[in-house]
Amino acid sequence: MQKKQKIISYTRVSADIFHYGHLKLFEKARAVSDYHICGLYEDELCIKLNGSLVMKYNEREAVIKKFDFVDEIIQQNHIGPTENLKLIYKRYPESKIILFQGHQEWVGLPGTDFIRSIGGEIIRSDYYPSLSRSKIKDKFQNTTGNYNYKLTSLRYGYQR
């Protein structure tokens, strides 16, 4: 009897402002695989990509660890995942690796050549444009303050 090939999915995120799109990505990656590895961008890379950082690596990692959809987190030091994919392939040479592309329309997406060379698969994840980091930041910055409920006025369960 032939042994069933293990399927490993790989996602990569900064998850600096964790949102619904990240959750759906993790759910989908886990649904199509036996084991889901998340490449979490290191702090310096996040700053290069986004210009700032809300949470440090260990804080972002702690959030992601709470999800049952992620079996392992490894640090990703480069925008391209090839280095991590090669390490995964070395650990699991008999496995099929699925790379989740992300929402970007990249031509020649980093990691795709390696995935194709080992017979892996590339899946494009769903995209929620209203939940991009820049859109979330814009929504917070454009808050007008026209809200009636002030948390600072609450003390011991009653309003003054």
pLDDT means over runs of 10, the chain (160 residues): 82 87 91 97 92 92 94 95 97 95 66 93 73 58 60 55
Please, what are the domains in the chain? 7-159 (3.40.50.620)
Beta carbons of 95 and 6 less than 8 angstroms apart? yes
Class of residue 115 by CB neighbours under 10 A (exposed 0-12, middle 13-18, buried 19+): buried
- Residue 5, pLDDT score: 82
- Residue 2, pLDDT score: 59
Contacts of 117 (CB under 8 A, 6+ apart): none
- Residue 19, pLDDT score: 80
How does 43-75 read in b/e, with b if 16+ C-beta sit within 10 Å? bebbeeebeebebebeebeeebeebebbbebee
pTM of the shown model: 0.80
- Residue 39, pLDDT score: 97
